[in-house]
Amino acid sequence: MKVKDILLALCAPLLLGFGFAIAKPAMQQFPPFLLMGLRFTIAALILVWWFPIPKKLLKDLFVVSLIGGTLTYGLVYTGLDKVDASSSILLVHTEVPFGVIIAYFLFKEKPSLRSIAGIIIAFIGLFILLGAPNLEGKFIGVLLLLVGAFAWSLGMVLAKPISKKIGGIVVTAWVCLFSGPLLLLGSFIFDGNTINYFLSADLKGWSIVLFLGLIMQPIAYGTWYQVMGRNPVHKVMPVMLLLPLTGLSTAIFLLGEDPTPQVFIGGAVILFGIGMILFTKPKKNKR
């Protein structure tokens, strides 16, 4: 990749990891559905005016936003509300092996033996992580995070052909536009007293909301999809390995979390397995 693309790609793991961790204290003032609804809606209001309506792809974009936006972030951030940020960041990173599996069934992209071994190792690391003391009694939160990671992977795979047609930033804009109102509706249904959350939130809570909506969502996803559109996936995806490092560092130094050694061991095994998947050279198609 060109130096410019490398720098742009780095925005995603740096911003997403930092934002994922700082969203934890924000959920003391905004429930998960409301927090994510505000994040997507604010980003949509910034981005959507700059692009024409992709009329022929609205149905496909709605499906992607429903799975990769509304369902994913409703599940993941509800899980984050129940699990430590440090463990949550590692759990959601199972999205990489999930993505490989989904791509095989949807697009018949056959993983290499090394990728299959990486998937197995990643899930071994997951089992180690699930036995960590700080996850005891948090089965529901862990399950929500894993299902959310699977939904994100499915959404990204479904978005791949759309991004090739209209560009990553356009996809980001319209996914935000569809997902934001759906998440806010979910907040009204599941959270209740939504107006009270607005009135009782302090400056710290609103600052995090504005960071997520104004900076993290448009910049992280906008640059990520943009770089993905210009470079082979296998060259871009390894950059996302920085996300757990960013998120764990934020959780430890800013939130004061103290992960157990088992979290680090399980996380290291997961990242090793994921690294095997991401650094596998794709097979050349035979003609």
Question: pLDDT digits over 129-184, tens only?
Answer: 656 665 666 778 888 888 988 888 888 778 777 877 887 788 888 989 999 999 89
For residue 286, pLDDT beyond 50: no
Cα(10)–Cα(272) distance, rounded to whole angstroms? 20
* Tens digits of residue pLDDT in 238-265: 566 667 667 777 777 777 767 677 767 8
Q: Which residues contact 207 (CB under 8 A, 6 or more apart)?
A: none
Closest Cα partner for 141 from 79, 94, 86?
A: 79
In sequence order, which residues have a C-beta less than 8 Å from that of residue 208 and are 6 or more positions away?
Answer: 22, 23, 25, 26
| CB 278, CB 114: distance < 8 Å | no
Least confident of 8-12, 35-39, 53-57, 212-216: 8-12
Quote the pLDDT of residue 234.
53
Residue 130 pLDDT: 59
* CA-to-CA separations, 147 to 36, 73, 151, 242, 285, in angstroms, rounded: 17, 10, 6, 22, 32
Query: Could you tell me which residue, 220 or 282, shows the higher pLDDT?
Result: 220
What's the pTM value of the predicted model, to 2 decimals?
A: 0.73
Higher pLDDT, 89 or 161: 161
The position carrying tokens 């795979």 is: 157
The percentage of the chain sitting over the pLDDT mark of 90, rounded to a whole number, equals 6
Of the candidates 287, 286, 275, the residue with the CA atom closest to the CA atom of residue 100: 275
